[in-house]
Structure 1
Amino acid sequence: MKYVVTTDKDVDTVCREMETVVPEHQFGIVAVHDLQETMQKKGVEFDQAVKVFEICNPKKAKAVLEKDMDLAMALPCRMAVYEDAGQTKISMMAPAAMLKMLNPDPELEAVALEVESTFKAMMDQLK
């Protein structure tokens, strides 16, 4: 259901590299959420760096939405970069497992497996 890799790089380095790696795989970064910063703005102390990237390939998203508009709730895909116990980790929810729970259509599963494979390649390249 999830895929996690660990790297010796710091969070900021991985986040900078995402800006190059993601487009190399024909995906785009839609938004970046700095959860540490957001919590601090809300008065919640949180010492660990956590950034969540919303990543999308419009053609893949269109294929999913043409089959089932309800799946808009699962888009765009996300990848997190964070500190955990002194290590930098990159993680994602596996798109194929997630979409299968929401809609078992084999055509959707095929799209999700392609996206998942690409995300794993991006993450392995970033580590």
Structure 2
Amino acid sequence: MTETAKPFAQAVEDLDAAVRRHNFGVLHVHDIGATLRGKGVPFERECKVFEVCNPRQAAKVMEADMRLNMALPCRISVYTDGGRTVLGMIEPDHLLGMLSDDPALRPIANEVETQMRQMIDEAR
């Protein structure tokens, strides 16, 4: 997790731009805070989860083990916590490592993780 001094909306906008600069697609952005509030749940924080994907990398992962489609796409979140804006992700290397011990996945996961860390760093 990485804290930023930026307001939530600016961090969201900057993350969206960073994802696209790295040739990942933004498949969907879940506005979890708005969804909860829309369902009548009193939720004060903001939270948006970006589903991001690099199609070439996703294809490599599924070629190695089709069951790993359940771990795709990757996610990067932007949320507020105690007045702070935070960006975070579940590391692809750890996630795929929990689901498969195929050594061919490690370099793919490491490359995706490196790019996702760069996106977060650029957005902060």
8 Å CA contact 2:15–2:120 kept in 1: the answer is no
- For 2:112, the equivalent position in structure 1 comes to 115
Q: Secondary structure at the match of 1:20?
A: helix
Indicate whether 1:100 and 2:97 are aligned.
yes
1:31 aligned residue = 28
Q: 1:69-80 residue pairs with structure 2 within 5 A?
A: 69-80=66-77
Q: Percent identity?
A: 42
Secondary structure in 1 matching 2:6 = coil
- How far apart, CA to CA, are the structure 1 residues paired with 2:58 and 2:94? 16
Moved beyond 6 Å, runs of 4+: none
Q: Aligned pair count?
A: 124
1:16-56 Cα shifts (integer Å, max 9, x gaps): 11222111111111000000111012111100000000000
Provide the rounded CA distance (Å) in 2 between the counterparts of 1:15 and 1:96: 24
Alignment partner of 1:55 is 2:52: yes
| Coordinate RMSD, CA, aligned | 0.8
Is the aligned partner of 1:87 residue 2:55? Answer: no
Equivalent residue in structure 2 for 1:21, among 18, 22, 47: 18
TM-score, normalised relative to structure 2: 0.97
CA shift digits 1:63-101 (9 cap, x unpaired): 001111111110000000000111100000010011011
What TM-score results when the alignment is normalised by the length of structure 1? 0.95
Partner of 2:41: 44
Q: Cα deviation per residue 1:92-114 (whole Å; 9 max; x = unaligned)?
A: 00100110110011111110000
For 1:52, what is the secondary structure of its paired residue? strand
Structure 1 residue runs of 5 or longer lacking an equivalent are none
1:11 aligns with 2:39: no
